[in-house]
Amino acid sequence: MKFKISSNIIPEDSGWTWCSENIGSPNARYIFAKVAGADGLIDLSRGASGALRYDDRTISVTFARFKKGQDDWMSNVDTLVDSIKSAFQYGSSVIYPKTEMRYYTAYGWNYSVSRDGIIQFLTLNFRCAPFGTVHT
């Protein structure tokens, strides 16, 4: 299985090699309030819906690629980044991690690039909604 963004962006098909993936857990959103006339704090975490809510999660994926020479070494990065920008052009996008058999709704992303000799590293960081949540 390959890492995929939207339905057609697969970095591995463009010469990138998948290195690692870190899927953060969403933190439960706990809300406690002081109420006059009550001892201690009151747990309002389940709110009106009765269900515990969660904060966003971050998914980071790192790819590597061999690139000899100093000339135009960012062109491969620019090509992939432009594809990802178009996938997020109208808001959120769907990502399919390599290490899980499910998809995530990502509504924000950024990237960082580094180089070690002839190896380029591209790390993509996605801000994803917890399951069952829709962001617009």
Domains of the chain: 4-128 (2.40.30.200)
The whole-model pTM stands at 0.81
pLDDT at position 52 is 85
Q: Tell me the C-alpha distance between 13 and 28, whole Å.
A: 36
Q: Tell me the C-alpha distance between 17 and 27, whole Å.
A: 30
Percent of the chain at pLDDT > 90 equals 48
Q: Tell me the C-alpha distance between 21 and 100, whole Å.
A: 10
Give pLDDT tens digits for 22-78. Answer: 998 888 888 889 988 888 898 888 877 788 888 899 999 999 998 777 677 788 899
Assign 85 to helix, strand or coil: helix
